[in-house]
């Protein structure tokens, strides 16, 4: 085997050799002439930038991802016309030959179907909210509903990956990793990017660690997934029979050994390692204090709902997200699974809504009453929308909806976003966007803007070119900014 490696190393073409030698020797010559570390401090690729580029509106983000794509037509995008036309065929003039998923492209008919759930107007803004979300309806004047989101992907995994990383293939850093890279951690005792998972009672779709990956960024920017069990961060407890003093002594001794090593070799990685040990030591105190939800007062428990004390529920994750965010975690990412209602919309969606409605609204109110909402950006939404026509059999009692990337609804609150407005519009069939479309890239650009970063300037050089979260597209959406 070693022979192959040697051969491989010798495998150089003449052109390659000459190119390397001429450039190489030239740069060696210049380099050896100059002071060795004259330029090394400007090595942007290995250092995170650490500060906003301009005054940020938001310092932290809590992203309540509704995985599986909740139907916009049953939640915030009220389309009475669909109720009138239920059972009638989707006009070709509306569909305009747009592609469908393999799940419904074979259907002979595309009967329109209206929402089974009633809508009402709420708040000063008079926004329409479905009866399944009575608590979110109460905070509607604090949120900004965007009805004109659109994406390029039509299936869960690429769409989800697109929403989270700005690319449909999963090899790019996620939004949280970019923010960690761009802004660093506010609280040095906790990771900058935390991930919390929960599972609802509807038809679910998977989430994978590629959604909170650091991609090509340094691995410190990766999202830290909290466990759904009682011990939210694993391997943080001291072993039985050992207490904090033992740990401290151990670290002190270790630090001395490391200091000797550092003196001898001068490798900065040694220092980095020592710092990581110290951070882990501090996390041993910081994390249990944070993740202990039982000390929350009764009125908070009531506000988030009784579920919030059960580890692994969406409500518990909302409460934990508030605590993490309050403690300076830059980006808290929640995923709530179970929103993929291809069939049984009537049966499943109320259960899903019930799981998230109360605690989501509680999170908004809780942040607000602590004076944190104006510096925390809360985002609620899925990866795409659902079709205005029925998938499968349309009956009086039940129906389903397929994936619809042309138009969907998300909402944001706090952190520099205009409260109490509805942005963008879809046609009366809820199929196409007719006003102020917001592409996923625009969404990313806007989020970075709110955090004080110019999406065109937050770059990282990888494989010979500079990458951005928005890659080569994206425009900030001024209409939703305060």
Binding positions for other proteins, 140-199, rule CB under 8 A: 186-190
User: Is residue 286 close enough to count as binding other proteins by CB under 8 A?
Assistant: yes
Of 58, 85, 233, 293, the one binding other proteins by CB under 8 A: 293
Phi/psi for 28 (5° steps) reads -60, -45
Q: Minimum distance between the CB of residue 215 and other proteins, rounded to whole angstroms?
A: 24
**Binding region for other proteins (CB under 8 A) out of 44-52, 84-92, 122-130, 260-268:** 44-52
Task: Using alpha carbons, list the distances in angstroms from residue 149 to 68, 380, 481.
Answer: 16, 12, 16
Output the smallest distance, CB 307 to other proteins, in A: 6
Query: Of 105-113, 259-267, 366-374, 462-470, which segment contacts other proteins by CB under 8 A?
Result: 366-374
Task: Annotate 338-391 with DSSP letters as a single string.
Answer: ----SS-HHHHHHHHHHHHHHHHHHHHHHHHHTT-GGGEEEEEE-SSEEEEEES
Q: Which of 118, 237, 248, 302 binds other proteins (CB under 8 A)?
A: 302
Q: Is 56 in the site for other proteins (CB under 8 A)?
A: yes
Cβ nearer to other proteins, comparing 94 with 279: 279
Angle at 415 between CA 325 and CA 66, to 5 degrees: 65
**For residues 114 and 311, which CB has a smaller minimum distance to other proteins in the complex?**
311
- In this chain, which of 2, 46, 294, 395 binds other proteins, going by CB under 8 A? 294
Q: Which residue is associated with the tokens 């991609």?
A: 215
In the bound complex, what is the minimum distance in angstroms from residue 375's beta carbon to other proteins? 9
Q: Is 34 in the site for other proteins (CB under 8 A)?
A: yes
> What are the φ/ψ torsions at residue 289 (nearest 5 degrees)?
-60, -40
Kindly state whether residue 268 participates in binding other proteins, applying the rule CB under 8 A.
Answer: no
Q: Does residue 214 contact residue 183 with C-beta atoms inside 8 Å? A: no
Window of 211-219, 295-303, 402-410, 426-434 that interacts with other proteins by CB under 8 A: 295-303
Given candidates 449, 467, 468, 469, which one binds other proteins under the rule CB under 8 A? 449
- When computed from its CA atoms, the radius of gyration of the chain, rounded to whole angstroms, is 26
Among 8, 11, 35, 106, binds other proteins (CB under 8 A): 35
Dihedral-angle region of residue 127 (phi above 0 means left; psi in -120 to 50 means alpha; beta otherwise): beta
φ and ψ of 64, to 5 deg: -95, 85
Of positions 2, 7, 13, 32, contacts other proteins by CB under 8 A: 32
Beta bridge partners of 119: 130
Give the nearer residue to other proteins in terms of CB position, either 13 or 395: 395
Cα gap 240→368, rounded to integer Å: 41
Minimum distance between the CB of residue 193 and other proteins, rounded to whole angstroms? Answer: 16
Choice from 13, 14, 15, 33 touching other proteins (CB under 8 A): 33
Which C-beta is closer to other proteins: that of 313 or that of 333? 313
What are the CA-CA distances from residue 419 to residues 150, 188, 414 (Å)? 21, 31, 7
DSSP letter string, 99-143: ---TTTTT-S--BB---SS-EEEETTTTEEEETT-HHHHHTGGGE
C-alpha angle 475-454-151 in degrees, rounded to nearest 5: 35
Rule CB under 8 A: which of 367-386 touch other proteins? 368-371, 374
Q: How far is the CB of 164 from other proteins (least distance, A)?
A: 23
- Establish if 356 lies at the interface with other proteins (CB under 8 A): no
CA dist 163 and 254 (Å) reads 43
167 vs 481 by CB, closer to other proteins: 481
Interaction pattern, residues 100-139, with other proteins; x per rule: CB under 8 A: ---------------------------------------x
The neighbouring-strand residues paired with 333 are: 63, 195
Structure tokens at 305: 């709902």
**Taking Cα atoms as reference points, which of 453, 419, 420 lies closest to residue 175?**
453
Q: Which residues contact other proteins by CB under 8 A?
A: 29-30, 32-35, 50-56, 139, 186-190, 278-279, 282, 285-286, 289, 293-294, 297, 299, 301-303, 305-307, 309-311, 326-328, 362, 365, 368-371, 374, 445, 449, 452, 454, 475-476, 478-479, 481
């Amino acid at each position: 085997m070693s022979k192959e490696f040697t051969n491989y190393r010798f495998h150089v073409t003449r052109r390659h050799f000459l190119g390397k030698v001429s450039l190489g020797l030239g740069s060696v010559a210049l380099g050896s002439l100059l002071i060795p570390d004259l330029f090394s401090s400007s090595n942007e690729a290995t250092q995170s930038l650490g500060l906003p580029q301009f005054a940020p509106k938001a310092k932290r983000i809590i992203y309540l991802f509704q995985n599986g794509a909740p139907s916009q037509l049953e939640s915030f995008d009220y389309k009475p016309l669909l109720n009138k036309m239920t059972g009638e065929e989707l006009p070709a003039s509306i569909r305009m030959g747009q592609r469908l998923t393999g799940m419904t492209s074979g259907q002979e008919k595309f009967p329109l179907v209206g929402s089974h759930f009633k809508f009402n107007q709420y708040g000063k803004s008079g926004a329409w909210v479905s009866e399944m979300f009575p608590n979110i309806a109460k905070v509607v004047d604090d949120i900004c509903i965007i009805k004109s989101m659109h994406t390029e992907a039509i299936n869960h995994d690429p769409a989800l990956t697109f929403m989270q990383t700005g690319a449909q293939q999963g090899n790019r850093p996620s939004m949280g990793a970019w923010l960690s890279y761009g802004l660093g951690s506010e609280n040095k005792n906790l990771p900058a990017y935390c991930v919390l998972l929960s599972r609802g009672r509807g038809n679910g779709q998977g989430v994978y660690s590629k959604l909170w990956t650091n991609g090509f960024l340094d691995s410190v920017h990766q999202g830290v997934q909290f466990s759904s069990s009682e011990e939210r961060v694993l391997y943080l407890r001291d072993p039985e029979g050992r207490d904090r003093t033992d740990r401290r002594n151990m670290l002190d001794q270790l630090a001395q050994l490391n200091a000797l090593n550092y003196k001898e070799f001068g490798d900065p990685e040694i220092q980095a390692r020592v710092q990581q040990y110290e951070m882990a030591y501090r996390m041993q105190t910081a994390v249990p204090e944070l993740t202990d939800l039982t000390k929350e007062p009764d009125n908070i428990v009531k506000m988030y709902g009784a579920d919030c004390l059960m580890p692994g529920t969406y409500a518990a994750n909302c409460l934990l997200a508030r605590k993490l965010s309050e403690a300076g975690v830059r980006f808290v990412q929640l995923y709530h699974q179970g929103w993929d209602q291809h069939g049984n919309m009537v049966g499943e969606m109320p259960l899903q809504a019930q799981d998230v409605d109360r605690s989501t609204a509680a999170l908004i109110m809780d942040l607000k009453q602590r004076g944190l909402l104006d510096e925390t950006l809360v985002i609620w939404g899925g990866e795409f929308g659902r079709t205005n026509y029925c998938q499968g059999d349309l009956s009086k009692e039940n129906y389903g909806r397929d994936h619809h990337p042309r138009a969907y609804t998300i909402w944001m609150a706090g952190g520099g976003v205009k409260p109490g407005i509805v942005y963008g519009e879809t046609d009366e069939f809820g199929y196409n966007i007719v006003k102020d479309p917001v592409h996923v890239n625009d969404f990313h650009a806007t989020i970075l803007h709110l955090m004080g970063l110019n999406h065109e300037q937050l770059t990282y050089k990888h494989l010979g070119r500079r990458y951005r979260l928005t890659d080569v597209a994206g425009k900030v959406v001024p209409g939703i900014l305060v």
